Amino acid sequence: MKAIIVRRGNSHPELAEVPDPLPESGEALLRTLRVGIDGTDHEVIHGNHGENPEGDDYQILGHEAVAVVEDANGTDLTEGELVVPTVRRPPNGTNDYFKQGEPDMAPDGHYVERGIVGAHGYMSELFTSSPEFLVSVPDSFAEYGFLVEPISNSEKAFEHAFASRSAFEWNPQSALVLGNGPLGLLTLAMLETPSSPFERNYCLGRRDRPDRTIEIIERLGGTYIDSRETPVDRIPDAHEAVDFVYEATGYAKHAFETVDALTPNGVGALLGIPSDWEFKIDGGRLHRELVLQNKALFGSVNSNISQFEAAKVRLSEFPDWFFDAFVTGVYAPSEVETAFATGDESIKTVVEFDTL
């Protein structure tokens, strides 16, 4: 079958012919429709993140997919049913994190990740999976269901943010998303859905107008903030101190500046994955601010099945125009180079293996 892979020692993706996967007992065979590309794929390609599956000198990329059940293989799935796969799998047999339905809370070594760490991903015509790692979605998700995975990462962050404030009456109204990359824009769209309690949402970038991400921010109803004019710790003076900060820049200073952007009793979620970077901060002041203003700061990665389910509901609340504006390219597997190209004109690209 055709697959988009990265070979060990190479730092570019390529289209290759690889053996068809054979479902083991208890596994179904899935036919891939679409697979989204994100920053993690680029990190895997450049060898900054992840590792090949044991015994293979290549890895099939991709972890944001939507697929059809091709062969249920004795599982209780229905052939023709549409599904979105989760990312983490237990490395050798299962462990408590997976048994509890909380693979997203497993520390390193207690999981592999399809398309990222130690397991093949979904950028191939076919893949196999146990049904417990598949979320059923309606046929209307054939085109954009691959967004359920990235949205689920933010559902987890929202859940943890609310949980961290659940010991008192927290009625957040304002939110600040740091980063206008795909994760930041998706999260802003989530904050702007009709069921969201957030009334005033800001999104930070570092781009000049005209820019398609700024157009999306404003069309969603958010306020664009340029970090070159208004650094994160100045946002309370320029706009307002916010109840919730969602960091998706991977710019390490933002983790600490978040404390200053928060209103008392506010919470900041850190999602970005920066490289090592040493810089000076006034740790004493930040520590004091966290304590005396009852602020919270936490990190969040990956997501569990219930957060995938929440993401399904959220995705169906997005306005129709958003998908056309956000997905800037749909490519055939043979167009791998263009699909992985980056630049200000590209927001979210996707490889299409098949259609319903």
Q: Indicate the annotated binding residues for substrate.
A: 40, 113, 149, 153, 302
Residue 68 contacts ligand NDP per CB under 6 A: no
Separation in Å, CA 82 to CA 12, 97, 333: 30, 26, 20
Q: By C-beta, is 93 or 343 nearer to ligand NDP?
A: 343
Q: Annotate each residue in 20-39 with x if it binds Zn ion (CB under 5 A) or - if it does not, as one string.
A: ------------------x-
- Considering only residues 40 through 59, tell me which ones interact with Zn ion, judged by CB under 5 A: 40
- Contact by Cβ (8 Å): 16, 336: no
Residue 103 contacts ligand NDP per CB under 6 A: no
Cα–chain-centroid distance for residue 205?
Answer: 18
Residue 182 contacts ligand NDP per CB under 6 A: yes
- Contact by Cβ (8 Å): 340, 42: yes
CB of residue 37 to ligand NDP, shortest distance in Å: 9
Residue 62 contacts ligand NDP per CB under 6 A: no
Q: By C-beta, is 132 or 345 nearer to ligand NDP?
A: 345
Q: By C-beta, is 110 or 207 nearer to ligand NDP?
A: 207
Burial 261-298 (b: 16+ CB within 10 A, else e): bbbeebbbbbbbeeeeeeeeeeeeebeeeeeeeebbbe
Structure tokens at 38: 């994100």
Measuring CA to CA, which residue among 23, 36, 35, 124 is closest to residue 79? 23
CA–CA separation, 326 and 356 (whole Å)? 22
Residue 301 contacts ligand NDP per CB under 6 A: yes
36's contact among ligand NDP, Zn ion, none, with CB below 5 to 8 A by partner kind, is none
Residue 207 contacts ligand NDP per CB under 6 A: yes
Residues annotated in a binding site for NADP(+) = 180-183, 206-207, 271-273, 300-302
Structure tokens at 34: 């679409």
Residue 238 contacts ligand NDP per CB under 6 A: no
182's contact among ligand NDP, Zn ion, none, with CB below 5 to 8 A by partner kind, is ligand NDP
CB of residue 299 to ligand NDP, shortest distance in Å: 7
CA–CA separation, 30 and 17 (whole Å)? 17
Considering only 248, 297, 311, 327, the residue that binds ligand NDP (CB under 6 A) is: 248
Structure tokens at 116: 């990222």
Going by their DSSP bridges, the two strands 348-352 and 28-36 should be labelled as antiparallel
CA–CA separation, 350 and 353 (whole Å)? 10
Structure tokens at 163: 């949980």
Q: Which residues bind ligand NDP (CB under 6 A)?
A: 38-40, 153, 179-184, 204-207, 227, 248-251, 271-273, 300-302
Q: Which residues bind Zn ion (CB under 5 A)?
A: 38, 40
